[in-house]
Structure 1
Amino acid sequence: MKNLFKITVTICLIFISLIKINAQKKRNMENTALLIIDVQNDYFKGGKMTLAGADEAGKKTQQVLEYFRKNNLPVINIRHIATNKGADFFLPNTKGAEINSIVEPKNDEKVIVKHYPNSFRDTELLEYLQSKGIKNLVITGMMTDVCVESTTRAAFDLGFNNTIISDATATRDRELFGKIVKAEEIQRSFLAGISTLGNLYAGVITTSDLLKGK
């Protein structure tokens, strides 16, 4: 009889702990929105500006998206349409400028079109976030060192708390002074810089960290 009582108490304690953990996760995600930046066809295989690791980053972004949908949290897709002279990808009315099917928005998910790297510049993004009471942004997307970076820094200046999902971002090799800088190096350097001084501009975590509630 004593053993049965102990087992019952143990089960109750475990159940209470799970409730507390779930409640804590929910509190941590209050006033939080997911920002998916430029996950568009031109960045994937066959596109006009293929990135290193685009498929892998796309799949991780999809996992993050599913997490937000499951928890009924706001999702915002940013779509870049190039209007600057000399642009050769993300051109208007092209397949390459369409959002990739891996993160295809649902009917009730917001899509905001931008024309500059900074997703806040000349768009309704700030007004929309404020109207929803959003204070925290979870940021995914492409390219890490261009649109993700400029948007994150702008968001910090506007008072948002930012978290970048490191493996849900991607970029490509660059050239500087005649030498190639590999995409992997750019990723690591950017993410280290953006999270410097105690995560000043953004905290940096993995998809697994997010799903585990870290």
Structure 2
Amino acid sequence: MTRNALIVVDIQNDYFSGGKWILNEVDSAADNAARIIAAARNNGDIVIHIRHETPAVDAPFFVPGSEGAQLHAKAKNIPGELVIVKHYMNPYRETELLRVLQDKGVETVTVVGNMSHMCIDAVTRSSDDFGFKTTVIHDACATHDLEFNGVVVPSAQVHAAFMAALRFGYATVVSADEFLA
């Protein structure tokens, strides 16, 4: 039984061109995520896909039943891979994720997906809090520009700040090439 799991977070159509909430560099990040997914499958690791749905009737994106809420083709699950639907930023909150990982004896998790400053941050911190040795593949994650008090923070800086914080105390943070080497 494998003790490694790959958590693929919110690589969904609404984040890509034509979607409702497009992220910067999302295609490149998804390409790297696809490489990590392929390696996990080849290694016999557990691959778990997380798919966000926003249950509010006026949801800005990830509307239940919409094409935008579906997993993107670059990171789609294959038969036998679990897809967990979540309604909060943290994939552990009110889902079966923790139970599944514990039941399967997982000790290490690798994280890829979207958005760096929200769900990737939440799942990484929680994974560490739950005792999993955690790795984030930084170039297999994407985000967008943020704004605070009239200051626009470019996505590259948002991403770098969150990866630096995660690396400081919660996870090993490496590139796809480093991870696959």
TM-score by length of 1: 0.82
2:70 counterpart (91, 98, 107): 98
For residue 206 of structure 1, the aligned residue among 157, 166, 175 is: 175
Equivalence for 2:164: 192
Residue 41 of structure 2 is aligned to residue 69 of structure 1: yes
What displacement does 1:158 show?
A: 1.1
Matching of residues 12-161 of structure 1 within 5 Å: 31-84=3-56, 86-161=58-133
- In proportion to residue count, which structure has more strand? 2
Task: Name the SS for the 1:130 alignment partner.
Answer: helix
1:181 aligns with 2:150: no
Amino acid in the other structure paired with 1:208 = D
- 1:84 shift after superposition: 3.9
**What is the distance in 1 between the residues matched to 2:137 and 2:58?**
31
What is the alpha-carbon root mean square deviation over aligned residues? 1.0
Listed as ranges, the gaps of 5+ residues in structure 2 are none
1:31: Cα distance to partner?
A: 1.1
Of structures 1 and 2, the one scoring higher in RCO (CA 8 A, sep 6+) is 2
Tell me how far apart the structure 2 counterparts of residues 104 and 187 of structure 1 sit (CA, whole Å): 24
Unaligned runs of 5+ residues in structure 1 are: 1-29
Q: Which has the higher helix share?
A: 1
SS at match of 2:165: helix
Rg: which structure is higher?
Answer: 1
Using the TM superposition, give the Cα deviation of residue 120 of structure 1 relative to its aligned residue in structure 2, in angstroms. Answer: 0.2
Q: Secondary structure at the match of 2:122?
A: helix
> TM-score, structure 2 length as denominator?
0.97
Number of residues paired by the alignment? Answer: 180
* Aligned amino acid, residue 50 of structure 2: I
Amino acid at match of 2:69: A
CA displacement at 1:86 relative to structure 2: 4.0
Alpha-carbon shift at residue 210 of structure 1 (Å): 1.1
